[in-house]
Structure formats: C-alpha cells, structure tokens
C-alpha cells in the first residue's frame, strides 16, 4: 500500500487526468516510500522492455480469391450509403405491399357467345371475300397470260414448219424440173438420131 | 500519427471494396505486433503464426462489421485475443484453471542475456489473463478502455488483472533489472 492520493500504478501507466497527475507528482516529492514504489515500477517496465519483438517466420499475405472476398451484396452494403440503400429497400417493400394490398379487380361480365360468333363471322367474311376475289382475279390473269404465251409459241412453231415445208417443196420442184429437162434433152437426142 | 491513421482508414476502405493488395499492405503494418502479442500469449512460434494468419483472414472477412476505422487496432486485437484463447482452451483439460506456459515451451527469441531469460520466465509464470493484460498494456500500449473492449470485460477487471500481474513481475524483475544494469 502507498499513501499517494491516487493510484501510483494509474500514474505509472499515464492513465490519470492532468490534474490528478500533478497532485501525485507533488506527493512524490515529499514521500520516499512512494518514490521507491514508482522506481520499482519503472525498473519492472524497463525489464519488460528488454524483451524485443520477434519477426514472424513468414510474411502474411493473401491472394485474390472469391471464396474469401466479400460478395457484391456485402460490398454494396459496406460501401457507405447504407441508409440510402435501406431507404430504397424500404420503398421497394412499401410498393410491393401496396401492390398486394390493392382491392381485387371486378370480374368481367359473362360473354354472349352467339353475338361473338356472329361478329367473328361478319369480320371473317368482310376480310376473307375480298381476299378470295383478289386471289381468283390474279389466278385468272395468270392463266390468260399463260394461254396467250402458248398460242404465240404455237403460231411461231407452225409458221416455221410452214416455211420449212415450202423450202422443201421448192427444192423438190427444182429437182424434178432439172430431171425433166435432162429427160427432154435425152429424148430429143434420140429423135435426131433416128 | 494522424497521417498513419488516415492511411489505415483509406486502406480499410479499399479492402472493403475487395482490394486484396490494399489489405496486404494493412497486414504488413500490423503483422509483427499481432504476431508478437500472440507469441507471448501462447508461447509457440508456429501456433502464433497460424493464429496470426487466422486473425487477419477473419478480420478481412468481417471488415464490414468494423464500424469505426479509427478503432481498427482494438478490433484487430479483439479478434487475435479470441483466436488465442480458443487455442488455449483447447490446450487446457476441462475444469482446470488457466494454464501457465509449460516450462521450456516458451521460445521468445534467442536472447542470451540473463535479463531476457528472467523476463520470459516471469511472464510464463503469470496466468494467461494476467499475461495478456501485461502484453496489451506494456507492449501494445492500449488504454484501459481499449483493453476492456478487446477483452470484453469491465475496466475494473482489466486493472485488477494488470496490477496483480505487475506486483508479481515487480518482485522478480525489478531486482533482476537492477542486477543486470551495468
């Protein structure tokens, strides 16, 4: 035990407020017992300080590994504006709650199937008949065009055959005339000789 | 000191964003202190190193829970304390009081001086709680409030452990230091 106004160990560890520290220092000037106690504490501290720090056997270092890294949501949560994020989350929850809490929509009236069928038939007829007529017209036009093409091709073929026959006839006639002439000349020669 | 605190805060912020290199730089600043704290607490270099790695890994995984970057050192030593006492509890058989370090188990460096040997021996004779209080105060320089936060106990308990330990150390070390001083 010491007679110091405040704990000497608190003084030694510098854990006393300035005013109390000053009072202890004043006391130490007058009290050899407390000075000896403080001196023993300082010697103890100096002895402990003789134990030096050691180096770790290896350096500690980490490599980037997704297993150890905080997830994106953790980084988002830790990134500062937590209140903003929390407010946004609260707003989202409120919107969801509002959406689910709205009254259910009124059920639609039952449909008149006859009227619907009539309307559908009219609509189909209105849209289908012009389409059919257009398709028939187009088909007829295509048929007429094809027939005209066939007639034209046939006429051209007949004309060609006709001209070929005429050429063949003329050639045959010319040949017969030449044969007749030869026979005529031959008969004339025979008459002269007789 | 202020500059260093700002830099640590910046590194913590970048590490929180997933920057591993920033965290490695932070680790390099603190690993020696954490290692020595754990070494003097558990008394074995390999155990102390393993605990140091686990401490820094746990710290990285839980950086998001650190509310005040300025209190990083207190928070880090709190994790180291938990890691160390988890190991000490596994070492200690059920129902026995906190163990002192086994004789010859301690391996606090290779200092031939008689004083260093006396210090190691004196620290080893303390209980784990008392030894930790001395380590946090004498070697790490934490204030009583910070120690209470690290140890999860009232300041009065911290002071009780520390002062009991100091009385035991004083009886052994003060005369030894007087003899050892040239």
B114 and B71 housed in the same domain? no
Per residue in B45-84, pLDDT (tens digit) is 999 999 999 999 999 999 989 988 889 999 999 999 999 9
Structural domain including B179 reads 104-182
Measure CB to CB from residue A45 to each of B17, B60, B138 and give the nearest one. B138
Same domain, B85 and B153: no
Nearest to A44 among B17, B57, B166 (CB): B166
> Phi-psi category of A54—alpha, beta or left, where left has phi over 0 and alpha has psi -120 to 50?
beta
Q: Which residues of B touch A77 (CB under 8 A)?
A: 64
Last residue of a domain, one of B79, B96, B113: B96
B85 & B35 share domain: yes
Q: Is the dihedral of CA A12, A18, A24, A29 positive or negative?
A: positive
- A117, B64, B123, B129 from B118: Cα distances, Å: 107, 43, 9, 20
Domain closes at, from B64, B96, B128: B96
Tell me the average pLDDT across A75-91: 56
Instruction: Please answer whether residues A79 and B16 qualify as being in contact, where contact means their C-beta atoms are separated by less than 8 angstroms.
Output: yes
* DSSP-derived secondary structure letter, A86: H
- The CATH number assigned to the domain holding B150 equals 1.10.10.10
Q: How large a percentage of chain A has pLDDT more than 90?
A: 26
Whether B32 and A59 lie within 8 Å, measured CB to CB: no
Contacts of B60 in chain A (CB under 8 A): 62, 68
pLDDT at residue B1 greater than cutoff 80: no
Q: What pLDDT score does B72 carry?
A: 94
- Give the domain-ending residue among B96, B127, B158: B96
Same domain, B76 and B123: no
CB contact under 8 Å between B118 and A47, yes or no, is yes
Whether the pLDDT of residue B92 is over 60: the answer is yes
Beta strand ranges found along B43-182 (DSSP E):
none
Give yes or no: residues B134 and B70 share one domain.
no
Residue A96, pLDDT > 70, answer no
- Residue B65 and residue B6 share a domain: yes
- Using the Cβ of A66 and the Cβ atoms of chain B, whether some distance falls under 8 Å is answered with no
Please determine, for residue B24, whether its predicted confidence score (pLDDT) is greater than 90. Answer: yes
B89 and B38, same structural domain? yes
Q: What is the pLDDT of residues A23-39, one digit of tens each?
A: 999 999 999 999 999 99
Co-location of B60 and B140 in the same domain: no
Q: Rounded to an integer, what distance in angstroms lies between the CA atom of residue A91 and that of residue A84?
A: 10
Q: How far apart are the C-alpha atoms of B67 and A116, rounded to whole Å?
A: 68
Nearest to A54 among B27, B36, B174 (CB): B36
Burial (CB < 10 A; 0-12, 13-18, 19+), residue A21, is middle
| Mean pLDDT along residues B138-144 | 93
Q: Is B130's pLDDT higher than 60?
A: yes
- pLDDT(A12) > 90: yes
pLDDT of residue B26: 93
How many domains is chain B partitioned into structurally? 2
Band (B104; pLDDT cuts 50, 70, 90):
very low
Please judge whether B119 and A52 are an interchain contact, meaning their C-beta atoms are less than 8 angstroms apart: no
For residue A82, pLDDT over 60 is answered with no
Weakest-pLDDT range from A21-35, A52-66, A140-154, B98-112: B98-112
**Co-location of B169 and B146 in the same domain:** yes
What CATH number does the domain containing B66 carry?
1.10.1740.10
Assess whether B91 and B132 both reside in one domain.
no
Residue A131 is predicted with a pLDDT of 85
To the nearest whole angstrom, how far is the Cα of A104 from the nearest Cα of chain B? 44
Same domain, yes or no: B92 and B108:
no
Give me the pLDDT at residue B105, please: 39
| Tens-digit pLDDT profile for residues A156-190 | 989 988 988 998 898 889 889 888 888 888 888 88
pLDDT over 70 percentage in chain A: 74
- Same-domain status, B129 and B85: no
pLDDT at B126 over 90: yes
Interface test with B, best of A14, A16, A52, A56 (most B CBs within 10 A): A56
Lowest mean pLDDT among A112-116, A167-171, B24-28: A112-116
* Contacting residues of A for B166, CB less than 8 Å apart: 9, 41, 44
φ/ψ of residue A121, rounded to 5: -60, -45
Compute the distance between CA of residue B107 and CA of residue A106 in angstroms, rounded to an integer.
83
Q: What is the mean pLDDT of chain A?
A: 80
CB contacts < 8 Å between A and B, how many? Answer: 121
């Amino acid at each position: 035990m010491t007679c110091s106004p405040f704990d000497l160990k608190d003084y030694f560890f510098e854990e006393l407020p300035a005013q109390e520290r000053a009072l202890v220092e004043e006391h130490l000037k007058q009290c050899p017992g407390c000075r000896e106690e403080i001196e023993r504490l300082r010697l103890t501290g100096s002895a402990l300080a003789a134990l030096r720090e050691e180096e770790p056997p290896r350096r500690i270092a980490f490599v980037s590994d997704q297993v150890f890294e905080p997830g994106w949501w953790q980084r988002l949560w830790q990134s500062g504006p937590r209140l903003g994020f929390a407010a946004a989350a609260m707003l989202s929850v409120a919107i969801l709650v509002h959406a689910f809490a709205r009254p259910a929509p009124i059920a639609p009236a039952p449909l008149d199937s006859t009227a619907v069928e009539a309307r559908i038939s009219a609509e189909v007829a209105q849209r289908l008949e012009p389409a059919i007529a257009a398709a028939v017209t187009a088909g007829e036009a295509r048929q007429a065009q094809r027939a005209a093409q066939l007639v034209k091709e046939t006429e051209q073929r007949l004309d060609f055959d006709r001209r070929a026959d005429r050429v063949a006839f003329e050639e045959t006639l010319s040949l017969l005339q030449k044969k007749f002439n030869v026979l005529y000349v031959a008969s004339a020669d025979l008459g002269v000789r007789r | 000191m202020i500059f260093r605190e700002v830099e640590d805060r910046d590194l913590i912020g970048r590490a929180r964003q997933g920057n591993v290199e920033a965290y490695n730089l932070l680790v390099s600043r603190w690993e020696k202190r954490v290692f020595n704290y754990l070494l003097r607490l558990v008394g074995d270099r390999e155990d102390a190193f393993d605990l140091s790695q686990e401490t820094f890994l746990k710290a990285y995984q839980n950086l998001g829970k650190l509310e005040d970057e300025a209190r990083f050192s207190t928070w880090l030593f709190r994790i180291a304390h938990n890691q160390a006492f988890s190991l000490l509890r596994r070492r200690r058989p059920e129902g026995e009081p906190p163990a002192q370090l086994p004789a010859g188990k301690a391996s606090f460096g290779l200092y031939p001086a008689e004083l260093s040997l006396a210090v190691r021996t004196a620290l080893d004779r303390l209980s784990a709680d008392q030894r930790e209080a001395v380590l946090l105060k004498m070697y790490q320089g934490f204030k009583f409030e910070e120690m209470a936060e690290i140890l999860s106990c009232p300041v009065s308990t911290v002071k009780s452990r520390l002062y009991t330990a100091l009385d035991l150390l004083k009886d052994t070390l003060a005369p030894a230091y007087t003899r050892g001083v040239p």
